[in-house]
Amino acid sequence: MDTNANILRILVTSDNHVGYLEKDGIRGRDSFNTLEEILFLAQQHDVDFILAGGDLFHENRPSIHCMNEVLRLIRKYCLGDRAVRFELLSDTSKNFANVSFPFANYTDPNLNVGVPVFSIHGNHDDPAGPGNVCAPDLLHSCGFLNLFGKSNSVETLEVSPLLLRKGSTKVAIYGIGAVREERLHRLFLHDKVTFWRPEDDAEDWFSLAVVHQNRVRHGPTGYLPENFLPNFLDLVVWGHEHDCRIEPEWNSSQNFYVAQPGSSVATSLIEGEALPKAVGLLEIHGREFKTVLPIDTFYIAFEILDCLIILDCPMSDNLMRFLAGLPYERGTLRRLTSV
């Protein structure tokens, strides 16, 4: 499809968990290879930018090897002479108030950015320690991505949108990095969360939010109810949940859609992780988004095996020895090499 001057094309991804099992002799390269494939897809589909929903890294303090691989891949696929085809109109001192450089990397005359990456942080790579710094902060300081949605306050949360314009299309992107579930729930209940809207012609803007919270209820306050989010939103990109539900789902009470990219690498043996992995291609024209196209990636597939349940008896030593002796090739994981 030819790029239209008024269509904003965004590659949507989340929960890449780069560095997961990096020391494993068989699966150690999975997260790196998948990240490279995602960045390659961004180039192939000629997107305007990449929107990431948190947990780029699996560890709060990734290894030097992991950090080097991420820097290498972003440099390979996102830096270059390609022209950036949209404008950033908002006050970047508010958008990037809690990071080291209060502006987008592609506007820095010292850098040559072809595919900007805008990302919030997740619960795995969340800020901590002196300066409240996280691993994505390092990438922002290096000029490799744009970290937004970060708050240093525990009493209030002010969400100032990125205001982007491409031709006649104007998009407001609201980012909320991972916040402890109970605290965020309390902030919403006590009206301590403020979503700032564009000052002029707010209804002309397509409003998109990206969050990294539990979508599924975990106790009375251990999740973010969708009805806590403002109903002026058009689309919510939901990070943190690992099952891929990239096709937009309509919330009839709030009148917005929710798209859940899921994780790009499997990190647990659950049925949700067995769903095909994908990233989304979002096309926005005016106040409408055309669709979120799922683009399948290479993924770890799980074979759902019948369970042997032994009741009221200890597992015999012979059975334990048998299970321990099963070769890896007969296990439940296999690497797929085609999409």
- Which stretches within 148-298 are classed as H helix? 181-189
Q: What is the pLDDT of residue 272?
A: 82
Is 175 domain-assigned?
Answer: yes
Question: If residue 35 lies in a helix (H) or strand (E), which one and from where to where?
Answer: helix 30-44
Closest residue by Cα to residue 117 from 47, 62, 176: 47
> pLDDT by residue (tens digit) across 261-293?
999 999 988 888 888 898 999 999 999 998 756
Averaged confidence pLDDT in the chain: 89
Q: What is the pLDDT of residue 119?
A: 99
CA dist 233 and 256 (Å) reads: 6
Beta strand ranges found along 138-287 (DSSP E): 146-147, 157-159, 162-166, 169-176, 193-195, 206-212, 235-239, 245-251, 256-260, 278-285
- Which is higher by pLDDT, 3 or 331? 3
Name the 3-class secondary structure at 332: coil
Q: Is pLDDT above 70 for 85?
A: yes
Q: What percent of the chain has pLDDT over 90?
A: 78
Q: Is pLDDT above 70 for 134?
A: yes
Burial of 219 (0-12, 13-18, 19+ CB in 10 A): exposed
Which residue(s) pair with 164 in the sheet? 88, 171
CA dist 60 and 304 (Å) reads: 31
Residue-number span of the structural domain to which 154 is assigned:
7-301
Q: What is the pLDDT of residue 269?
A: 83
Is 209 domain-assigned?
Answer: yes
Is 90 domain-assigned?
Answer: yes
Q: What is the pLDDT of residue 290?
A: 80
Rounded to an integer, the average pLDDT of 227-236 is 98
pTM above 0.85, yes or no: yes
Structural domains in the chain (count): 1
**Where residue 209 sits, what CATH number does that domain have?**
3.60.21.10
CA dist 258 and 129 (Å) reads: 33
User: What size, in residues, is the chain?
Assistant: 339
124 is known as an active-site residue: yes
Is 339 domain-assigned?
Answer: no
Q: What is the pLDDT of residue 338?
A: 38
Q: Is pLDDT above 50 for 209?
A: yes
Contact 31/277 with Cβ under 8 angstroms? no
Q: What is the pLDDT of residue 333?
A: 40
Closest residue by Cα to residue 35 from 119, 128, 142, 112: 119
Number of neighbouring beta carbons within 10 Å of residue 19: 26
Q: Is pLDDT above 80 for 303?
A: no
Exactly one of 17, 58, 121, 124 is catalytic; name it: 124
Is 337 domain-assigned?
Answer: no
CA dist 179 and 149 (Å) reads: 10
Is 308 domain-assigned?
Answer: no
Which residue(s) pair with 195 in the sheet? 159
Is 132 domain-assigned?
Answer: yes
Is 105 domain-assigned?
Answer: yes
Joined tokens for residue 34: 């998948």
Q: What is the pLDDT of residue 110?
A: 96
